[in-house]
A and B are shown apart, each in its own frame.
Chain A
Amino acid sequence: MTRTKATAALFGAAFGFLISWGQFADPDRIRDMLLLRDPYLYLMMASAVAVGFVGLRLLTRRGARAFLTGRPITYERTRPQPRHFAGAAIFGVGWSIADSCPAPIAAQLTQGVVWSVFTIAGIWLGILLFLKRQERREQVPERRALGGLAVDKPPG
């Protein structure tokens, strides 16, 4: 697990370095892209996905295994559900206000943008709200099941 964590940190570091170099931590750059003044973000994302898409297919077609864990390389493909649209729309509103998303916000922090502390606090709060909502929803069927058992009990 330590090697897995070290590897995750290494790829995270490469990502953090690259997005900082690409100026994605600058809210004004993101605003220019969202106002369609600058196509950089869209071209960058399209080319990144193209490399990932082709590379991943080459790896899986050859039946490659992950070189660190030995697990077969697999990836999850899921069909869109309402939560994907709803969650992404909520995320999009937040993205347009902060002109930043989770990785660039972390990069802002280490580049000395003190404002990022507020966005990070908000992200943690949002995640906590999601977890609490999820736990509440998981408890409802349990309660219903318990209620059902109580009703089914023979009298006396």
Chain B
Amino acid sequence: MKDLLLHRPAWYVLGPLLGLVVLGLYAAISERFGVVGGYSNVVERISGRLPKLGWKAWVLFGVLGGSLVYRLAAGRSNIGDGYGWLTRTFGGSGGHLIVAGLLVAAGVLIGFGAKTAGGCTSGNGLGGCSAGSTSSFAATATFMGTAIVCSFLIKAIT
């Protein structure tokens, strides 16, 4: 079982399963699946903009719980040491500060951008595209295209 979990399943297994999760939320409560809305719910609650946490925050809590269950069932993490290209490029204690700063900056762009676009990879990319929303298709094509171009730029300068 642990060996099975430590190797990623074929895309044609994982993709349809994730599609069923998106479909399942529509079938259960008639709502679009998305994760950035959960982060937003928490921010709005803490800053007093919401009187209580909504269902979207519980999607986020579920993601945290589900990944913890995976970690426990698999016996170990399947994520490599360090943090990808960032810790490989910026080493040492000074480098760690740069990595932390870049991750905060990336997070700001992710949070602000996803809220502006009305969803993230899951909300626009899976939920919105499953609904056939042209705005979600446009947003998905844009963030994928931008991320691909930026990744090649990062590779070129590092």
Q: Which residues of A contact B (CB under 8 A)?
A: 1, 4-23, 25-28, 30-31, 34-36, 39-40, 43-53, 55-56, 59, 64-69, 71-81, 83-99, 101-103, 105-113, 115, 118-131
Contacts and interface: CB of A to CB of B under 8 A. Distances in A.
Dominant SS at the A interface?
A: helix
Contacts of B66: 12-18, 20, 107
B60 A12 contact: yes
A18 B58 contact: no
Given A21-B70, A92-B150, A98-B106, A8 B64 contact: no
A19 B150 CA distance: 23
A15 B139 contact: no
Interface residues of B, number: 111
A80 B139 CA distance: 8
Given A50-B19, A55-B19, A95-B147, A127 B111 contact: yes
A66 B148 contact: no
A110 to B, nearest CB: 4
A79 to B, nearest CB: 6
Given A56-B26, A115-B83, A18 B142 contact: no
Nearest to A11: B25
28 contacts: A5-B58, A11-B28, A15-B66, A16-B64, A17-B69, A25-B78, A35-B148, A47-B11, A49-B129, A50-B16, A56-B26, A59-B27, A77-B133, A84-B138, A89-B143, A91-B117, A92-B150, A94-B107, A95-B146, A97-B109, A98-B103, A108-B79, A110-B67, A120-B107, A122-B105, A122-B109, A126-B114, A127-B115
